[in-house]
Amino acid sequence: MPLFELLRLTKANLESAQDRNPSPPVDEVVELVWKNGQISTQSQSTRSRNIPPPQAIHQASSSRVREIGNSSKTTMMDEIPMSVPSLMTGMSQDDDLVPWLNHHQSLDGYCSDFLQDVSPVTVNEQESDIVVNQTVFPLFQRQNNGNESAPPAASSSQYNSFQSHSVYGSDRAREPTSQQAKPDRFTQTQEPLVACNKPGLINFSHFLRPATLAKPNNLQGGNEKSPQRSPNVFQTRVLGAKETVDKALNESVASATPKDNQKACLISEDSCRKDQESEKAVVCSSVGSGNSPDGPSESPSLSLKRKHSDTQDIDCHSEDVEEESGDGRKETAPSRAGNGSKRSRSAEVHNLSERRRRDRINEKMRSLQELIPNCNKVDKASMLDEAIEYLKSLQLQVQIMSMASGYYMPPVMFPPGMGHYPAAAAAMAMGMGMPYAMGLPDLSRGGPLVNHGPQFQVSGMQQPVSMPMAMPRVSSGGFFTGSSMMDMNKSDDGSTRDLSSSKDQTKNNNSLKPIKRKPASSDQFSGSS
Amino acid sequence: MSSSRRSRQASSRISDDQITDLISKLRQSIPEIRQNRRSNTVSASKVLQETCNYIRNLNKEADDLSDRLSQLLETIDPNSPQAAIIRSLINE
């Protein structure tokens, strides 16, 4: 998912930065990277470069054969185009993404590797001793003024970093252990990228690295691989159509190894960027649930999916256990009661069934108690009380977070015609979220849900966002505050501090005054000020 | 003996009533049970089971959302107030 977000952002950046590509960027990039004969980054004549196919093919195939180990080569190849174009093109186009990547160290294993490679941007070494890069380097040097430091564009710098990594691949001693694998991957990816000699290439290699990160990396850039495979691999890609690649991706994803699945998930996510994010995550998780990904490198969706399946299994198992125990008791009861009278037998049966029911309930209460954090109550009633409160707070928290993520994540979702209204609506959501975010810690202790409700003024704001019943009193005030917060951020009038406090309604009111930039929202706010 | 039984029954009666109330409260909070089964005869075990599942699902959702928010946090200026908001949500 993190990678998916990066891809989405870079894609957006790419689209905005480059207007040279009339066709959809994804398709374009895919074609660009993988069109064997002519790896043109933007499918434009200006950038198209024709690399001798056999060279690129051989190099790529050879490297790939080594890394992948022959089995999932198509998988990797398929993964590459989807992931490479969007992210790397975006990165090449936008330097801002680089610091983003560098900062994003909490990603999965391959992602971290991915980022580490990005950081040493200026490390460019001209060691063209690597066999793999021999054909590539001259091309690269020709195109990018060599690998010297301070490359003019981020893409070239990134490319240089990749080059350096590939160079390092041949010389392991120079690289830290953690990065040794990367150069190998890079060497493998270098060939197609270098051949293209474009930002798209860099993107490709960048993505190729994570894709191949899972694979054993003994790639030394040798050319010993059988070139025969390369044509097939490339041909799959040469198709160029995004849909085709997607199909190949999906197929490869279905049959890929666990690690491949993780990457494939990212790639499939990337390919389905236009679709809803949830769908992608679901797809990814569904793909990966069947496998056993590594702990550190598994994507969040996969881990969540796995956990969910585990919990489901536990629930089913517990239910089965209960039923079995109940059946066992049922069988013993009649045998025992047969000796006594009917009444005693019925009473005994009743007692047994009652006991069974109570045991079941107690068991569930115990499991519920385990779920609730900091629950030291032994009394059933108080424990249930706490469970109810915890459940409500959880509902609230999830709703707020979903609102926040919905507001922050798709900034381009709102049609331009809507103007500031959706922003205001989202701001309102955030406003709702802020007070409750502060109040959530109180909620866990059993505090009232509308702690901060009265603190917010009620304005004549509409309520585009439907809030749960638990927050009736805060609705208007919260919306008001949220919109004010939104504008506060942009007005830079020093009222941003209110966001953290969220309890000083006076400040919030004052902050509204400078907010006159948005006519639509200001009209709504003017009521309160 | 009878007194103890009576006291036991009294205490159990009270807690039974309490438990029934709480179970009904839980039932209302859980959308699954509330919407699907309109009857008043939902067993306590079923309610508890659904509660456990619901809490687990909510936890998972919250984790997922916090992951998303942390990602978003990376994309925006860390010093902005929005970042503070997101951070507060994640920490909770």
pLDDT tens profile B9-32: 555 555 677 777 777 777 777 776
User: Where would I find the beta strands (DSSP E) of B1-92?
Assistant: none
- Number of separate domains in chain B: 1
Contact A242, A33 (CB under 8 A): no
Provide the β-strand partners of residue A38. Answer: A50
Q: Which residue has the tokens 């890609």?
A: A237
The beta-carbon neighbor of B64 closest among A300, A319, A500 is A300
CA distance B37 to chain A (A): 19
- pLDDT given at position A310: 45
Q: Which residues of chain A have a CB within 8 Å of the CB of B65? A: 398, 401-402, 404-405
- pLDDT given at position A409: 63
CA distance B66 to chain A (A): 7
Answer whether residue B71 is part of any domain: yes
Task: Tell me the residue type at A407.
Answer: Y
Q: In the structure encoding, which two tokens stand for residue A328, read together? A: 């066992």
* Sites in chain A below the pLDDT cut of 70: 1-12, 15-340, 408-529
A77-to-A55, A476, B43 alpha-carbon distances in Å = 17, 53, 54
- pLDDT given at position A375: 77
Gap between the Cα atoms of A33 and A242, Å rounded? 12
- pLDDT given at position A194: 43
Task: Tell me the residue type at A91.
Answer: M
Task: Kindly identify which residue of chain B lies nearest to residue A363, measuring between CA atoms.
Answer: B45
Gap between the Cα atoms of A183 and A177, Å rounded? 11
Answer whether residue B2 is part of any domain: no
Answer whether residue B75 is part of any domain: yes
Do B51 and A368 count as a contact with CB atoms less than 8 A apart?
yes
Q: In the structure encoding, which two tokens stand for residue A112, read together? A: 């971290």
Mutation site for B-interface testing, chosen from A321, A408, A434, A484 by largest number of B Cβ within 10 Å: A408
- pLDDT given at position B34: 60
Q: Which structural domain, as residue segments, surrounds residue B44?
A: 16-91
A/B interface, count of CB pairs below 8 Å: 157
- pLDDT given at position A354: 92
The CATH number given to whatever domain includes residue B70 is: 4.10.280
Do A100 and B74 count as a contact with CB atoms less than 8 A apart?
yes
Answer whether residue B68 is part of any domain: yes
Do A434 and B18 count as a contact with CB atoms less than 8 A apart?
no
Within 10 A of A330 (CB to CB), how many other CB atoms are there?
13
Answer whether residue B7 is part of any domain: no
First-to-last alpha carbon distance for chain A, in angstroms, is: 42
CA distance A195 to chain B (A): 32
Gap between the Cα atoms of A341 and A348, Å rounded? 10
CATH of the domain spanning A344-404, picked from 4.10.280.10, 2.60.40.10, 3.40.309.10, 3.40.50.720: 4.10.280.10
- pLDDT given at position B51: 82
pLDDT digits (tens, 9 = 90+) for B44-86: 777 788 888 888 888 888 888 888 777 777 777 666 666 667 6
**DSSP 8-state class, residue A50:** B
- pLDDT given at position A382: 82
pTM strictly above 0.90: no
Do A308 and B86 count as a contact with CB atoms less than 8 A apart?
no
Do A5 and B19 count as a contact with CB atoms less than 8 A apart?
no
Within 10 A of A529 (CB to CB), how many other CB atoms are there?
16
Domain limits of chain A? 344-404
Gap between the Cα atoms of A84 and A101, Å rounded? 15
Q: In the structure encoding, which two tokens stand for residue A281, read together? A: 């995550």
- pLDDT given at position B4: 60
